[in-house]
Every structure is written in C-alpha cells, then in structure tokens.
Amino acid sequence: MATTPSTTALAREARRVPVPESELTAGADATSIGEAREAAKGCHRCQLWRNATQTVFGEGPETADVVFVGEQPGDQEDLAGKPFVGPAGRMFDSTLDDAEINRRKVYVTNAVKHFKFEPRGKRRIHSKPNAGEIQACRWWLDKELDLIKPNLVVALGATAAQSLLGKAVAVLKMRGEVIEREDGLRVFITIHPSLILRIREPADKDAERARFLQDMRKVKRMMGA
Ligand code: URA
C-alpha cells in the first residue's frame, strides 16, 4: 500500500532538490540594477521563495554613494515588494531625516530578499534567516554592490553584518565602527532599527533611538568622504 509522506519529509526532500544550473546563473550577466531585479524575481537559490509573496529587491539610485543593508523584508515589505516600508522602515526613515540623509539618494536593500515567517493564526511572525539562507542570498547582495560600487555600506544589524563580512559580528560592541573588507569596501556597523521598536521602557527606547541617530550622523559625515 502506498504511504503518504509526512510534511517534514516533504520539507526535507524539498531542501535536497538541487537548484538547476540555469537558476544559479540567472542575473549573472545583469549590467544594471533593473536587470538584476528582474532576474531575482524568479530566484530559487534557497527555499524561502516558496512561502513569500515576492522577491523584495533593493531600491535607490544606481549611483548611490552609500548602501544600507537590512536583514530581510517583513510582512509589509513582502506585500509591497519594497524594502523598509513597514514599522522598522518608518523608524529608519525618521532617523535618516533627523540625520539629514536623503533616503532617495541612498540605496536600501536586505541581506535576504524573501520574507521568512512562521504562520500564527492569521498573522505571519518574522523568523530569522539561517546561515544557509544568508549565504545563498549573498549572491544578490554581491551583485548589487558590484553594480553600485558604493563608498560605504551600512550594516543594519547582525544578519547584514554577517552577510557583508562573512562572519558573526558583535553589533552592540562594534556599532559606530567601520570595518574594511579585503576588497577595500568599508562596512559601517550599527543596529537594526527594529531593535528600538522592541524596547518597551520609554526612556530606554529614546536612548536607543538617540544612539542610532548618532550612528546615522556619523554615516552622514562619512558620505562622499
Ligand atoms: N526589516 C528589514 O531588515 N528589512 C526590511 O525591508 C524591513 C524590515
């Protein structure tokens, strides 16, 4: 008698399915962010595309001096197809405004370009991308950096720092500092704006927001330097 495979067995099997060569090279010859964004729409480099609504690619001018890298799209970004448009995005925007950084003049993207979540009733709860997912998606981040060639990259939180530097970084200890990669790219370390949103105590929240603003003012001073 034929047996029905369990959901776990199916998930395991799905992870084993090799990614076809054509999907691993999609976007390799992209010569603009527009072409890369188009190619990334069908990305199957990891399994996160299965449950997400769409690929959320980076946004901003290809001539940007600075690239900001977050973790992954959230619920609202997944639906809108744009990075940092939800609650963390609003915190990011208001802090950039206070630091007099024009968001329209910088490029904003994520280390992982599909929303990873756990369904809980009608809600979709953010779930952290794992090392394999970060590594698989690094291909697209490298492509964006290669095309834009920024003077500075800002890692917003641990996932972005891990993707950009290839190793775990103690973000709270290193925030405000610049690490130069072997290829000469300067990576500024700071927190993810969602950290501020998670703080309940108003005084602590204000203090963390002020520290984040201080970091963004440092970025502003480094822009074009
Ligand atoms: N958090 C991120 O890291 N990126 C987004 O685009 C939104 C929330």
- Does residue 21 form part of some domain? no
If 0-12 CB within 10 Å is exposed, 13-18 middle and 19+ buried, where does residue 198 land? exposed
Domains held by the chain: number = 1
- Does residue 146 form part of some domain? yes
- Does residue 24 form part of some domain? no
Q: With a 6 A CB cut-off, is 208 part of the ligand 1 pocket?
A: no
Q: What is the DSSP letter of 19?
A: P
- Does residue 97 form part of some domain? yes
The CATH number for 177's domain is: 3.40.470.10
* pLDDT at 42 (0 to 100): 95
- Residue 53 Cα, ligand 1 centroid: separation in angstroms? 15
Both tokens of 222, joined, read 């480094």
pLDDT tier, 16 (very low <50, low <70, confident <90, very high otherwise): low
- Residue 39 Cα, ligand 1 centroid: separation in angstroms? 21
- Residue 83 Cα, ligand 1 centroid: separation in angstroms? 6
Q: With a 6 A CB cut-off, is 133 part of the ligand 1 pocket?
A: no
Task: State the residue range of the domain holding 218.
Answer: 7-16+32-222
Q: Each residue of 107-166: pLDDT tens digit? A: 999 999 999 999 999 999 999 999 999 999 999 999 999 999 999 999 999 999 999 999
Q: With a 6 A CB cut-off, is 162 part of the ligand 1 pocket?
A: no
Q: With a 6 A CB cut-off, is 86 part of the ligand 1 pocket?
A: yes
For the CA of 159, the nearest atom of ligand 1: 3
pLDDT tier, 17 (very low <50, low <70, confident <90, very high otherwise): low
- Does residue 23 form part of some domain? no
Q: Are 124 and 117 contacting, i.e. CB atoms less than 8 angstroms apart? A: yes
Whole-prediction pTM value?
0.91
